[in-house]
Structure formats: structure tokens, C-alpha cells
Amino acid sequence: MLIERAPVVLELRPEVKLAGVSKSYGVGRNAVQAVESVDLDIDHNEFVSVLGPSGCGKSTMLLMIAGLVKPGSGTISIQGRKIEGPQRTTGIVFQNPVLLPWRTVLDNVLLPIELMGDNVNSYREHAHELLEIAGIADFTDRLPHELSGGMRQRASICRALIQHPTLLLMDEPFSALDAMTRDDMNLELLRIWERDRKTVVFITHSISEAIFLSDRVVVMSKRPARIIEDIVIPLPRPRSIEMQETMQFLQLRTRVRKLIEH
């Protein structure tokens, strides 16, 4: 007699999990609550943008995920492990490229490897490959001041990817660029992401940018940051700039704007 067994159900664990995360700065009457009771799951290889008013606590949330700031309460885990500090498997790109002016583009990209004490030579081929993918391979030996703003930001993305991170955190990386360069960088980022999928958490003030790039857009309230709504973006991939003129895109943009202005 055969005994039927119940099927085994595998529990899918999110890549990044925030559970009841809050953060305040200062003490007593001078304390400022930046983030309050945030619960958020981000799946493996998902591209999630976090959108909200200026000063609402988006960057604080990103720094907590990076392990650079400790939560006041709640827990943050990556691949099921609670975060206690910076992780080698996490890359981060800031609003400004923060390239060392006396180092060439290649040497800036390789800087994290030096700081970790690893063998730099074993990463040179990967660095050249990243610079080729980013379209700045011809500027490998140039200094940062010889590059445009967009090219410097491409170099900073290459630097964040040099360690083969599974998670890429981006804090308004294109906000200082002009509109045309920003569009180019959005397309460049998607090209890199679609080629070598990473889990991405992307902070931005731009509604259009968030919708265009993302699988999901997490809309935050004014400070203290709480999640107002988590919106799935149903736009097909690959994406093109022309997609931003479609009715579907415009409807999504109107929906998100109403949430932020509420």
C-alpha cells in the first residue's frame, strides 16, 4: 500500500527583510524620529525604488540596510542573517561619486579590494570588464577631473560592483545630473542590471525615474518615514525612454504623485 505524502513546500526567503525598523537621532526633547515601524521584504534580484519627500528618512533606511547605521529598534536581515555591520556582499553608490582625485579611474574602481586587503591583481580583469560594460573603458587611466559627471558616476557604479555584490544600494545616484544625462544613466543602469542581475534598492526623489527603473516602488510618508504603499510596476522589460509617454506609465505616475502629495 502506497502512502501519499504531503508535498514539500519550500519557504521563499526574501533577500532583504526589515521588521519593525525605527530610527531616531538625538535624545529627549531634541530627538528627531527619522524612520518608524518599517516592515519591508525585497526578493532576490528585485529592483525596488524607495520614493518620498525630501528629508523623510529614505537615506537613513538605506544606510541601515548597508550596516552603516544601527536601527533604534527592529531588525534588518540579508539572506536570513541579521545585519550587525557592513557586508562584503553589499555594494553602495552615493549621490556624489566620491572618487579620489589623485587615483585613476581603474585605481578608484579597485579601491575596495585594496581596503579589504585582497589581491588587487586578481580583480583587474573584472575591473576592465566592468568599465567596458559601463562604456568608459577608454578612460581607464584618466583622473576623475578629466571625466564628465555621468562618466564619474559610471565609475562609482563599477566600484560598487567590483566585489561581486549580491545587493546593490543606490542613494539618489543621478540627482546631480542634467535631464538628458540622467536618462542615459537610467538606461545604462538597466542594461548593467539586466546583464548581471543584482538585488537593487534605489533611493530617488523622481517619480518617473522610480517607475521607469523598478519592479516595485515603495512610497514613504513625510518624516518619520513610514510606508504608505508598495506598488508593483507591471511595465514589461526591457524598457525604453519612449515607454514614459504611454498611458500606463502616466497613470502610474499620477497614482504615485497623489500618494506623495496626500
For residue 7, pLDDT over 70 is answered with no
Taking the C-alpha atoms of residue 188 and residue 248, their distance in angstroms, rounded to an integer, is 23
What is the average pLDDT across 228-256? Answer: 95
What residues form DSSP beta bridges with 216? 48, 232
Note the pLDDT of residue 10. Answer: 40
Note the pLDDT of residue 12. Answer: 55
**pLDDT (tens digit per residue) in 173-224:** 888 888 888 888 899 889 888 888 889 999 999 999 999 999 999 999 988 8
pTM score of the predicted model: 0.89
**pLDDT (tens digit per residue) in 133-176:** 888 999 999 999 999 988 999 999 999 999 989 999 999 988 88
**pLDDT (tens digit per residue) in 90-118:** 999 998 898 999 999 999 999 999 988 89
| Residue, of 235 and 2, whose pLDDT is higher | 235
Which domains, from first to last, does the chain contain? 33-89+167-262 (3.40.50.300), 100-164 (no CATH)
Alpha-carbon separation of residue 225 from 72, 161, 206 (angstroms):
14, 29, 17
Note the pLDDT of residue 13. Answer: 67
Q: Which of 100, 51, 4, 57 is nearest to 204 (CA)?
A: 51
Taking the C-alpha atoms of residue 105 and residue 171, their distance in angstroms, rounded to an integer, is 21
**pLDDT (tens digit per residue) in 33-86:** 889 999 999 999 999 999 988 878 889 999 999 999 999 999 999 999 999 888
What is the three-class DSSP state of 152? helix
